[in-house]
Amino acid sequence: MKHFFKFALVFSIIFLGVLKTLFANDTLKGMQLGNDDAPITVIEYRSLTCSHCGEFSKVTFPELKEKYIDTGKIKFELRPFALNATDLNAFKLLHCANEEDFFSLEKLLFEDQQKWIVSSSVDENTEALGKYGLLFGITKEKYNSCLEDDEITDFIISMRMEGSQKYNISSTPSFVINDEVYGGYRNFKDFEKIIEKSIN
């Protein structure tokens, strides 16, 4: 009997690990753009409440996408690096969206950043975020369900922990380009120099 319980415990731990891996993979699908076989991988650790991340998203990213992601030279991956409770809930909203809506909703959240970060109250900010979800078919009930989903919460937190532990990320935005870490906001010309150097 002892052997049975020991086996059952080990199996449960492995099974839960597989479930979390599958969930992470499913979630990451909506956070990736570009060719899987691209010679360069760019990972951005991003906060939705970070003004510099918003600037990168609005100013640098469109050029980066047009010249390098859409042409198959870069595989781009966004990883959440939640800085506060409002940030965490904003990422939860993103993970409620359909995969094809992920970047469209994220773009809108950055464009209207000062409209949903309405106060120091997490509850007020979370309520404001819900209105953006409605534009993408995320009902109030679905949003509340995502807010309470432990798997989504664990995944977002695990992304921050991985960034901190594996790459020593401590601020946003931070970029990992072919395993080299670059911190802080970068305009397109700065990015272009790094990418061209990596390609050559």
Say what the pLDDT of residue 21 is.
Answer: 41
Say what the pLDDT of residue 80 is.
Answer: 94
Say what the pLDDT of residue 199 is.
Answer: 74
Number of domains within the chain: 1
Say what the pLDDT of residue 121 is.
Answer: 93
CATH number where 44 lies: 3.40.30.10
| Both tokens assigned to 104 | 């469209």
Say what the pLDDT of residue 9 is.
Answer: 37
Cα separation, 71 vs 82, whole angstroms: 30
Name residue 102's amino acid: F
| Both tokens assigned to 74 | 């870069």
- Give the pLDDT means over successive 10-residue stretches in the chain (200 positions): 40 39 46 90 95 93 94 93 96 90 92 91 95 95 94 90 94 94 92 84
- Give the structural domain span for 110: 2-199
Q: What is the pTM of this model?
A: 0.82
Say what the pLDDT of residue 10 is.
Answer: 39
